[in-house]
Amino acid sequence: MAAIAKRERFEMPEPVRRFFEGDWDAPSLRVEEFRDGDNLVVKAEMPGIDPDKDVDVSVSDGVLHIQAERQEKTEHKGKDGYRSEFRYGSFTRDIVLPRGVKEEDVTASYRDGVLEVRVPVPEVTESTKKVQIARS
């Protein structure tokens, strides 16, 4: 049998690599999650999205659901011809919230292409109940 020569891989600039190979290591919606005092803050980059029409934020069963849909279309008409380009896609992210969060206290805002969700986290006191062991 003839040996198949392995094709050597050459390094491509990062944006070109992502275009051809896809960015499989990145989540569908990049978020930053951190504590700010008594609040859990979740930030998601969403440039070019209309938050009134394209974003849905909800909380159910202790999980924060963020869903967004992007639809962009550009057209270039010139003396040399016509070019149309569009991008679209749906993005979702689910984040498990700390115990004791009240769904009605969750707030969201959008500014400069960044969605910010603030979740007040109550102080949870751990209580342990001793269970008696019955002897038979």
How many Å is the maximal CA-CA distance in the chain? 94
CATH number at residue 44: 2.60.40.790
132, part of any domain:
no
CA 106, CA 65: separation in Å to the nearest integer? 12
Q: How distant, in Å, are the alpha carbons of 72, 79, 85, 88, 130 from that of 82?
A: 17, 8, 10, 20, 76
127, part of any domain:
no
5, part of any domain:
no
8, part of any domain:
no
Q: What does the angle CA 126 – CA 130 – CA 132 come to, to the nearest 5 degrees? A: 160
- Per-residue pLDDT tens for 74-118? 788 888 888 877 767 788 899 999 888 999 999 999 999 899 999
pLDDT over threshold 60, residue 6: no
| Helix or strand (DSSP H, E) at 37 | none
119, 97 Cβ separation under 8 angstroms: yes
CA 18, CA 24: separation in Å to the nearest integer? 9
Average pLDDT over every residue of 127-133:
87
18 vs 53 pLDDT, higher one: 53
Backbone angles phi, psi at 4, to 5 degrees: -90, 125
Structure tokens at 28: 């569908």
CA 51, CA 117: separation in Å to the nearest integer? 13
- Is the pTM higher than 0.85? no
9, part of any domain:
no
97, part of any domain:
yes
Residue 66 burial class via C-beta count within 10 angstroms: exposed 0-12, middle 13-18, buried 19 and up: buried
- Banded model confidence at residue 126, pLDDT cuts 50, 70, 90: confident
Residue 18's pLDDT is 53
CA 48, CA 81: separation in Å to the nearest integer? 27
Q: How many structural domains does the chain have?
A: 1
79, part of any domain:
yes
Structural domain boundaries enclosing 98:
29-120
| Segment among 11-15, 21-25, 48-52, 85-89 with least mean pLDDT | 21-25
